[in-house]
Amino acid sequence: YEIYLNGLGGAVPRLPTDLTRLEELTERRLGPGPAGYVAGSAGDGSTARANRAALERRRTVPRMLRDVHERDLSVEVLGRSLPAPLALAPVGVLSIMHPEAEPAAARAAAAQGVPYVLSSASSTPMEQVAEAMGDAERWFQLYWPKDPEVARSFLGRAKAAGYSVLVVTLDTPLLAWRPRDLDQAYLPFLHGVGTANYFSDPAFQAGLAKPVHEDPNAAVLHFVNLFSDPGKTWPDLAFLRENWDGPIVLKGILHPDDARLALDAGMDGVIVSNHGGRQVAGSIAAADALPRVAGAVGDRMTVLFDSGIRTGGDMFKALALGADAVLVGRPYVYGLALDGRAGVEHVIRCLLAEFDLTLALSGHAGPGTVGADDIEEA
Ligand code: FNR
Protein backbone atom coordinates (compact mmCIF):
# COMPACT_ATOMS: atom_id res chain seq x y z
CA TYR A 1 0.00 0.00 0.00
CA GLU A 2 3.00 2.24 0.40
CA ILE A 3 3.08 2.98 -3.32
CA TYR A 4 -0.63 3.88 -3.28
CA LEU A 5 -0.27 6.01 -0.18
CA ASN A 6 2.70 7.89 -1.60
CA GLY A 7 0.81 8.37 -4.83
CA LEU A 8 -2.25 9.71 -3.04
CA GLY A 9 0.01 12.03 -1.06
CA GLY A 10 1.21 13.56 -4.28
CA ALA A 11 4.53 11.71 -4.49
CA VAL A 12 4.39 10.31 -7.98
CA PRO A 13 6.91 7.44 -8.36
CA ARG A 14 10.04 8.38 -10.33
CA LEU A 15 9.56 5.40 -12.63
CA PRO A 16 6.34 3.85 -13.97
CA THR A 17 4.76 1.12 -11.84
CA ASP A 18 3.82 -0.74 -15.05
CA LEU A 19 7.24 -2.29 -15.55
CA THR A 20 6.53 -3.16 -19.19
CA ARG A 21 7.04 0.55 -19.92
CA LEU A 22 10.66 0.57 -18.71
CA GLU A 23 12.06 -0.92 -21.89
CA GLU A 24 10.96 1.96 -24.08
CA LEU A 25 12.24 4.53 -21.58
CA THR A 26 15.60 2.76 -21.42
CA GLU A 27 15.87 2.61 -25.20
CA ARG A 28 15.49 6.39 -25.24
CA ARG A 29 18.03 6.89 -22.45
CA LEU A 30 20.88 4.67 -23.58
CA GLY A 31 22.91 4.85 -26.77
CA PRO A 32 22.09 2.37 -29.55
CA GLY A 33 24.92 -0.03 -28.59
CA PRO A 34 24.00 -0.60 -24.93
CA ALA A 35 20.24 -0.36 -25.63
CA GLY A 36 20.51 -2.97 -28.37
CA TYR A 37 22.60 -5.20 -26.14
CA VAL A 38 20.13 -5.29 -23.26
CA ALA A 39 16.81 -5.13 -25.08
CA GLY A 40 17.88 -7.20 -28.07
CA SER A 41 17.52 -10.91 -28.46
CA ALA A 42 18.40 -13.72 -30.83
CA GLY A 43 17.52 -13.80 -34.51
CA ASP A 44 14.20 -12.27 -35.46
CA GLY A 45 13.24 -11.76 -31.81
CA SER A 46 10.49 -14.38 -32.02
CA THR A 47 11.60 -16.27 -28.90
CA ALA A 48 11.58 -13.15 -26.75
CA ARG A 49 8.07 -12.34 -28.04
CA ALA A 50 6.97 -15.94 -27.49
CA ASN A 51 8.14 -15.72 -23.86
CA ARG A 52 5.71 -12.87 -23.29
CA ALA A 53 2.93 -14.44 -25.36
CA ALA A 54 3.17 -17.75 -23.46
CA LEU A 55 2.63 -15.92 -20.17
CA GLU A 56 -0.08 -13.65 -21.54
CA ARG A 57 -1.96 -16.54 -23.13
CA ARG A 58 -2.36 -18.13 -19.71
CA ARG A 59 -4.92 -16.51 -17.46
CA THR A 60 -5.31 -16.97 -13.74
CA VAL A 61 -8.66 -18.01 -12.29
CA PRO A 62 -9.19 -16.10 -9.02
CA ARG A 63 -11.04 -17.68 -6.11
CA MET A 64 -13.28 -15.73 -3.70
CA LEU A 65 -14.11 -15.75 0.00
CA ARG A 66 -10.94 -17.36 1.24
CA ASP A 67 -9.36 -15.74 4.26
CA VAL A 68 -6.34 -13.87 2.90
CA HIS A 69 -6.08 -11.05 5.40
CA GLU A 70 -2.72 -12.31 6.66
CA ARG A 71 -0.27 -13.23 3.96
CA ASP A 72 3.25 -14.64 3.97
CA LEU A 73 5.18 -14.49 0.70
CA SER A 74 8.17 -16.48 1.93
CA VAL A 75 9.34 -19.72 0.33
CA GLU A 76 11.95 -22.39 1.03
CA VAL A 77 14.30 -22.71 -1.92
CA LEU A 78 17.49 -24.81 -1.98
CA GLY A 79 17.44 -25.09 1.79
CA ARG A 80 17.22 -21.36 2.38
CA SER A 81 14.26 -19.24 3.36
CA LEU A 82 13.56 -16.42 0.90
CA PRO A 83 11.18 -13.53 1.68
CA ALA A 84 9.43 -14.10 -1.65
CA PRO A 85 9.81 -16.41 -4.67
CA LEU A 86 11.99 -13.87 -6.50
CA ALA A 87 15.68 -13.43 -7.31
CA LEU A 88 17.61 -11.11 -9.62
CA ALA A 89 18.90 -13.03 -12.65
CA PRO A 90 22.59 -12.93 -13.58
CA VAL A 91 23.19 -10.14 -16.06
CA GLY A 92 26.72 -9.29 -17.14
CA VAL A 93 28.39 -6.03 -18.09
CA LEU A 94 26.12 -3.75 -16.05
CA SER A 95 28.61 -0.87 -16.24
CA ILE A 96 27.27 -0.17 -19.75
CA MET A 97 23.89 0.54 -18.10
CA HIS A 98 24.97 2.66 -15.15
CA PRO A 99 28.34 3.65 -13.70
CA GLU A 100 27.48 2.05 -10.34
CA ALA A 101 26.88 -1.24 -12.15
CA GLU A 102 26.62 -4.55 -10.25
CA PRO A 103 27.22 -3.18 -6.73
CA ALA A 104 24.15 -0.93 -7.13
CA ALA A 105 21.94 -3.82 -8.24
CA ALA A 106 23.38 -6.04 -5.51
CA ARG A 107 22.74 -3.42 -2.81
CA ALA A 108 19.14 -3.03 -3.99
CA ALA A 109 18.62 -6.80 -3.82
CA ALA A 110 20.22 -6.93 -0.36
CA ALA A 111 17.99 -4.11 0.91
CA GLN A 112 14.90 -6.03 -0.21
CA GLY A 113 16.21 -9.42 0.98
CA VAL A 114 16.08 -10.83 -2.53
CA PRO A 115 18.97 -13.08 -3.66
CA TYR A 116 21.33 -11.50 -6.17
CA VAL A 117 22.88 -13.79 -8.75
CA LEU A 118 26.20 -12.33 -9.85
CA SER A 119 27.22 -13.03 -13.44
CA SER A 120 30.62 -14.46 -14.32
CA ALA A 121 30.67 -11.66 -16.89
CA SER A 122 30.12 -8.88 -14.37
CA SER A 123 31.98 -5.62 -14.81
CA THR A 124 32.97 -5.67 -11.12
CA PRO A 125 35.08 -8.39 -9.47
CA MET A 126 32.99 -10.79 -7.38
CA GLU A 127 34.77 -9.82 -4.14
CA GLN A 128 33.79 -6.16 -4.51
CA VAL A 129 30.15 -7.04 -5.13
CA ALA A 130 30.20 -9.31 -2.08
CA GLU A 131 31.57 -6.48 0.02
CA ALA A 132 28.73 -4.21 -1.11
CA MET A 133 26.18 -6.80 0.03
CA GLY A 134 27.28 -7.46 3.62
CA ASP A 135 25.91 -10.83 4.63
CA ALA A 136 22.92 -10.73 2.26
CA GLU A 137 22.04 -13.78 0.15
CA ARG A 138 24.15 -14.00 -3.01
CA TRP A 139 24.59 -16.68 -5.64
CA PHE A 140 27.32 -17.00 -8.27
CA GLN A 141 26.62 -17.72 -11.94
CA LEU A 142 29.29 -19.64 -13.79
CA TYR A 143 30.03 -19.44 -17.46
CA TRP A 144 32.10 -22.57 -17.34
CA PRO A 145 35.58 -21.60 -18.57
CA LYS A 146 37.52 -23.91 -20.83
CA ASP A 147 40.53 -23.97 -18.47
CA PRO A 148 39.71 -26.10 -15.40
CA GLU A 149 42.22 -24.12 -13.33
CA VAL A 150 40.30 -20.91 -14.00
CA ALA A 151 37.02 -22.71 -13.24
CA ARG A 152 38.43 -24.04 -9.96
CA SER A 153 39.76 -20.62 -9.08
CA PHE A 154 36.37 -18.97 -9.75
CA LEU A 155 34.61 -21.51 -7.53
CA GLY A 156 37.14 -21.03 -4.74
CA ARG A 157 36.88 -17.25 -4.91
CA ALA A 158 33.06 -17.36 -5.00
CA LYS A 159 32.95 -19.62 -1.96
CA ALA A 160 35.41 -17.45 -0.04
CA ALA A 161 33.37 -14.34 -0.89
CA GLY A 162 30.19 -15.84 0.55
CA TYR A 163 28.28 -16.87 -2.57
CA SER A 164 26.13 -19.77 -1.43
CA VAL A 165 24.51 -21.26 -4.54
CA LEU A 166 26.26 -22.04 -7.82
CA VAL A 167 24.21 -21.31 -10.96
CA VAL A 168 25.75 -22.93 -14.04
CA THR A 169 24.53 -21.47 -17.31
CA LEU A 170 24.47 -24.14 -20.02
CA ASP A 171 22.75 -22.32 -22.86
CA THR A 172 25.65 -20.05 -23.81
CA PRO A 173 28.61 -22.19 -24.90
CA LEU A 174 28.61 -19.77 -27.85
CA LEU A 175 27.13 -16.32 -28.15
CA ALA A 176 24.08 -16.48 -30.38
CA TRP A 177 23.19 -14.66 -33.58
CA ARG A 178 22.06 -11.29 -32.20
CA PRO A 179 21.29 -8.90 -35.05
CA ARG A 180 21.08 -5.72 -32.99
CA ASP A 181 24.62 -6.26 -31.69
CA LEU A 182 25.88 -7.40 -35.09
CA ASP A 183 24.41 -4.39 -36.84
CA GLN A 184 26.06 -2.02 -34.36
CA ALA A 185 29.27 -4.10 -34.28
CA TYR A 186 28.72 -3.90 -30.52
CA LEU A 187 30.02 -6.46 -28.06
CA PRO A 188 30.99 -5.08 -24.63
CA PHE A 189 33.49 -7.88 -24.03
CA LEU A 190 35.63 -6.76 -26.92
CA HIS A 191 36.24 -3.52 -25.03
CA GLY A 192 37.19 -5.36 -21.86
CA VAL A 193 33.78 -4.84 -20.24
CA GLY A 194 32.50 -7.89 -18.39
CA THR A 195 35.97 -9.30 -17.99
CA ALA A 196 36.60 -8.13 -14.39
CA ASN A 197 36.30 -11.57 -12.80
CA TYR A 198 38.76 -12.97 -15.32
CA PHE A 199 41.30 -10.15 -15.33
CA SER A 200 41.44 -10.23 -11.52
CA ASP A 201 41.92 -14.00 -11.41
CA PRO A 202 45.36 -15.47 -10.63
CA ALA A 203 44.75 -18.62 -12.71
CA PHE A 204 43.64 -16.46 -15.65
CA GLN A 205 46.65 -14.18 -15.25
CA ALA A 206 48.95 -17.20 -15.20
CA GLY A 207 47.93 -17.90 -18.82
CA LEU A 208 49.10 -14.47 -20.03
CA ALA A 209 52.55 -13.63 -21.36
CA LYS A 210 52.31 -10.07 -19.97
CA PRO A 211 50.19 -8.56 -17.18
CA VAL A 212 46.71 -7.41 -18.22
CA HIS A 213 47.56 -3.69 -18.06
CA GLU A 214 50.62 -4.14 -20.29
CA ASP A 215 48.77 -5.94 -23.07
CA PRO A 216 45.00 -5.53 -22.65
CA ASN A 217 44.29 -6.77 -26.18
CA ALA A 218 46.00 -10.08 -25.52
CA ALA A 219 44.04 -10.34 -22.25
CA VAL A 220 40.74 -9.84 -24.09
CA LEU A 221 41.69 -12.49 -26.64
CA HIS A 222 42.59 -14.89 -23.85
CA PHE A 223 39.21 -14.16 -22.24
CA VAL A 224 37.36 -14.86 -25.50
CA ASN A 225 39.22 -18.12 -25.82
CA LEU A 226 38.43 -19.25 -22.27
CA PHE A 227 34.95 -17.76 -21.83
CA SER A 228 33.09 -20.98 -22.49
CA ASP A 229 33.45 -24.41 -23.93
CA PRO A 230 31.03 -25.99 -26.44
CA GLY A 231 32.73 -29.37 -25.94
CA LYS A 232 31.30 -30.13 -22.51
CA THR A 233 28.91 -33.03 -21.86
CA TRP A 234 26.89 -34.33 -18.91
CA PRO A 235 29.69 -36.41 -17.28
CA ASP A 236 31.71 -33.16 -16.91
CA LEU A 237 29.29 -32.06 -14.18
CA ALA A 238 31.20 -34.34 -11.80
CA PHE A 239 33.95 -31.68 -11.82
CA LEU A 240 31.53 -29.10 -10.41
CA ARG A 241 30.19 -31.47 -7.77
CA GLU A 242 33.78 -32.13 -6.65
CA ASN A 243 34.70 -28.45 -6.51
CA TRP A 244 31.55 -26.92 -5.00
CA ASP A 245 30.01 -28.17 -1.78
CA GLY A 246 26.81 -26.07 -1.83
CA PRO A 247 23.72 -26.32 -4.01
CA ILE A 248 24.23 -26.35 -7.80
CA VAL A 249 21.52 -25.23 -10.21
CA LEU A 250 21.65 -25.68 -13.99
CA LYS A 251 20.34 -22.70 -15.93
CA GLY A 252 18.90 -22.97 -19.41
CA ILE A 253 17.00 -26.26 -19.12
CA LEU A 254 14.02 -26.56 -21.49
CA HIS A 255 13.62 -30.31 -22.10
CA PRO A 256 12.31 -32.65 -19.36
CA ASP A 257 14.95 -35.26 -20.23
CA ASP A 258 17.70 -32.70 -19.55
CA ALA A 259 16.09 -32.02 -16.18
CA ARG A 260 16.21 -35.76 -15.44
CA LEU A 261 19.88 -35.85 -16.47
CA ALA A 262 20.54 -32.95 -14.10
CA LEU A 263 18.92 -34.93 -11.30
CA ASP A 264 20.96 -38.04 -12.15
CA ALA A 265 24.13 -35.92 -12.07
CA GLY A 266 23.42 -34.93 -8.47
CA MET A 267 22.35 -31.38 -9.20
CA ASP A 268 20.03 -29.58 -6.77
CA GLY A 269 17.88 -27.67 -9.21
CA VAL A 270 17.28 -26.33 -12.68
CA ILE A 271 16.30 -22.96 -14.07
CA VAL A 272 13.84 -23.28 -16.91
CA SER A 273 15.05 -20.45 -19.11
CA ASN A 274 15.84 -19.57 -22.70
CA HIS A 275 18.10 -16.71 -21.63
CA GLY A 276 15.33 -14.20 -22.22
CA GLY A 277 15.11 -15.26 -25.88
CA ARG A 278 18.73 -14.28 -26.46
CA GLN A 279 20.18 -17.63 -27.52
CA VAL A 280 18.15 -19.92 -29.79
CA ALA A 281 15.83 -17.97 -32.09
CA GLY A 282 12.72 -20.03 -32.65
CA SER A 283 13.11 -22.04 -29.45
CA ILE A 284 10.20 -22.96 -27.22
CA ALA A 285 8.88 -20.21 -24.96
CA ALA A 286 10.19 -20.72 -21.45
CA ALA A 287 6.68 -20.74 -19.93
CA ASP A 288 5.65 -23.45 -22.40
CA ALA A 289 8.61 -25.60 -21.34
CA LEU A 290 7.99 -25.14 -17.62
CA PRO A 291 5.04 -27.53 -16.97
CA ARG A 292 6.78 -30.53 -18.54
CA VAL A 293 10.07 -29.90 -16.72
CA ALA A 294 8.26 -29.36 -13.41
CA GLY A 295 6.21 -32.50 -14.06
CA ALA A 296 9.38 -34.53 -14.66
CA VAL A 297 11.49 -33.46 -11.67
CA GLY A 298 9.56 -30.90 -9.61
CA ASP A 299 8.93 -33.24 -6.71
CA ARG A 300 12.61 -34.18 -6.48
CA MET A 301 14.54 -30.99 -7.17
CA THR A 302 14.11 -27.23 -7.18
CA VAL A 303 12.61 -25.77 -10.35
CA LEU A 304 13.22 -22.09 -10.94
CA PHE A 305 12.04 -20.06 -13.92
CA ASP A 306 13.00 -16.99 -15.92
CA SER A 307 12.47 -15.41 -19.36
CA GLY A 308 9.59 -13.03 -19.76
CA ILE A 309 8.61 -12.15 -16.18
CA ARG A 310 7.47 -8.51 -16.15
CA THR A 311 4.75 -8.33 -13.48
CA GLY A 312 3.68 -9.78 -10.16
CA GLY A 313 0.90 -11.49 -12.11
CA ASP A 314 3.54 -13.24 -14.23
CA MET A 315 5.22 -14.46 -11.04
CA PHE A 316 1.92 -15.98 -9.95
CA LYS A 317 1.49 -17.70 -13.33
CA ALA A 318 5.01 -19.17 -13.22
CA LEU A 319 4.30 -20.67 -9.80
CA ALA A 320 1.00 -22.07 -11.10
CA LEU A 321 2.95 -23.68 -13.97
CA GLY A 322 5.24 -25.44 -11.51
CA ALA A 323 8.10 -23.07 -10.56
CA ASP A 324 9.27 -22.78 -6.96
CA ALA A 325 10.49 -19.23 -7.59
CA VAL A 326 11.35 -16.92 -10.50
CA LEU A 327 14.21 -14.73 -11.58
CA VAL A 328 13.82 -11.46 -13.36
CA GLY A 329 16.38 -10.09 -15.83
CA ARG A 330 15.75 -7.10 -18.09
CA PRO A 331 13.26 -5.23 -15.86
CA TYR A 332 15.79 -4.64 -13.09
CA VAL A 333 18.48 -3.78 -15.62
CA TYR A 334 16.14 -1.12 -17.04
CA GLY A 335 15.55 0.11 -13.49
CA LEU A 336 19.33 0.37 -13.05
CA ALA A 337 19.78 2.20 -16.36
CA LEU A 338 17.05 4.70 -15.50
CA ASP A 339 17.67 5.37 -11.80
CA GLY A 340 20.63 3.38 -10.46
CA ARG A 341 20.16 1.47 -7.24
CA ALA A 342 16.84 3.23 -6.53
CA GLY A 343 15.56 2.09 -9.92
CA VAL A 344 16.39 -1.54 -9.12
CA GLU A 345 14.66 -1.23 -5.74
CA HIS A 346 11.63 0.27 -7.47
CA VAL A 347 11.41 -2.76 -9.77
CA ILE A 348 11.75 -5.26 -6.93
CA ARG A 349 9.17 -3.46 -4.79
CA CYS A 350 6.67 -3.20 -7.63
CA LEU A 351 7.03 -6.90 -8.42
CA LEU A 352 6.62 -7.91 -4.79
CA ALA A 353 3.67 -5.59 -4.16
CA GLU A 354 1.85 -6.71 -7.28
CA PHE A 355 2.58 -10.35 -6.53
CA ASP A 356 1.20 -9.92 -3.02
CA LEU A 357 -1.98 -8.32 -4.39
CA THR A 358 -2.34 -11.00 -7.06
CA LEU A 359 -2.07 -13.72 -4.43
CA ALA A 360 -4.64 -12.05 -2.18
CA LEU A 361 -7.10 -11.24 -4.95
CA SER A 362 -6.80 -14.79 -6.28
CA GLY A 363 -7.58 -16.32 -2.89
CA HIS A 364 -4.12 -17.32 -1.66
CA ALA A 365 -2.46 -16.40 1.63
CA GLY A 366 0.96 -17.50 0.35
CA PRO A 367 2.81 -19.02 -2.61
CA GLY A 368 2.56 -22.58 -1.26
CA THR A 369 -1.05 -23.11 -2.31
CA VAL A 370 -0.70 -21.84 -5.89
CA GLY A 371 -1.00 -24.67 -8.42
CA ALA A 372 -2.20 -25.90 -11.78
CA ASP A 373 -5.83 -25.34 -10.75
CA ASP A 374 -5.24 -21.57 -10.63
CA ILE A 375 -4.48 -21.13 -14.31
CA GLU A 376 -6.09 -21.77 -17.69
CA GLU A 377 -4.94 -21.43 -21.29
CA ALA A 378 -6.98 -18.81 -23.04
C1 FNR B 1 21.50 -11.86 -19.63
N2 FNR B 1 21.44 -13.17 -19.14
C3 FNR B 1 22.57 -13.75 -18.60
N4 FNR B 1 22.52 -15.01 -18.08
C5 FNR B 1 23.60 -15.56 -17.50
O6 FNR B 1 23.51 -16.70 -17.03
N7 FNR B 1 24.78 -14.86 -17.43
C8 FNR B 1 24.91 -13.62 -17.95
O9 FNR B 1 25.97 -13.01 -17.86
C10 FNR B 1 23.79 -13.03 -18.58
N11 FNR B 1 23.88 -11.80 -19.15
C12 FNR B 1 22.75 -11.19 -19.65
C13 FNR B 1 22.83 -9.89 -20.13
C14 FNR B 1 21.68 -9.24 -20.57
C15 FNR B 1 21.80 -7.83 -21.05
C16 FNR B 1 20.43 -9.90 -20.51
C17 FNR B 1 19.15 -9.22 -20.91
C18 FNR B 1 20.35 -11.20 -20.05
C19 FNR B 1 20.16 -13.90 -19.09
C20 FNR B 1 19.42 -13.61 -17.77
O21 FNR B 1 20.06 -14.23 -16.68
C22 FNR B 1 17.99 -14.16 -17.81
O23 FNR B 1 17.99 -15.51 -18.19
C24 FNR B 1 17.07 -13.39 -18.76
O25 FNR B 1 17.35 -12.00 -18.72
C26 FNR B 1 15.63 -13.63 -18.34
O27 FNR B 1 14.75 -13.05 -19.23
P28 FNR B 1 14.08 -11.61 -19.01
O29 FNR B 1 13.67 -11.51 -17.55
O30 FNR B 1 15.12 -10.62 -19.38
O31 FNR B 1 12.94 -11.65 -19.94
Position 346 pLDDT exceeds 80? yes
pLDDT per residue over 102-113, tens digit each?
999 999 999 999
Annotated binding site for FMN: 90-92, 119, 141, 169, 273, 306-310, 329-330
The C-alpha atoms of residue 25 and residue 360 are separated, in whole angstroms, by 31
Residue 121 — pLDDT band, cuts 50, 70, 90? very high
Position 3 pLDDT exceeds 80? no
Position 2 pLDDT exceeds 90? no
Amino acid identity for residue 114 in this structure: V
Mean predicted confidence (pLDDT) in 41-54 = 98
Residue 151 lies in a domain: yes
Residue 374 lies in a domain: no
Residue 168 lies in a domain: yes
pLDDT per residue over 273-304, tens digit each?
999 999 999 999 999 999 999 999 999 999 99
Q: Is 75 helix (H, G, I), strand (E, B) or coil?
A: strand
User: Which pLDDT score is estimated for 6?
Assistant: 81
Annotated binding site for glyoxylate: 37, 143, 178, 251, 275, 278
Index of the ligand 1 atom closest to the CA of residue 308? 31
Residue 190 lies in a domain: yes
Index of the ligand 1 atom closest to the CA of residue 39? 17
- pTM for this entry: 0.98
User: Which pLDDT score is estimated for 360?
Assistant: 97
* CATH of residue 335: 3.20.20.70
Residue 169 C-alpha to ligand 1 middle, in angstroms? 10
The C-alpha atoms of residue 292 and residue 210 are separated, in whole angstroms, by 50
Which domain range does residue 221 map to? 2-61+75-367
Residue 354 lies in a domain: yes
pLDDT per residue over 304-338, tens digit each?
999 999 999 999 999 999 999 999 999 999 999 99
pLDDT per residue over 182-205, tens digit each?
999 999 999 999 999 999 999 999
Domain count, the chain: 1
Residue nearest atom 2 of ligand 1, based on CA coordinates: 91
ipTM attached to this prediction: 1.00
Residue 69 lies in a domain: no
Residue 234 lies in a domain: yes
Position 4 pLDDT exceeds 90? no
Q: Which of 213, 222, 255, 275 is catalytic?
A: 275
Residue 48 lies in a domain: yes
The C-alpha atoms of residue 226 and residue 205 are separated, in whole angstroms, by 12
Residue-by-residue DSSP string for 83-146 = SSSEEEPP---GGGT-TTHHHHHHHHHHHHT--EEE-TT-SS-HHHHHHHHTT--EEEEE---S
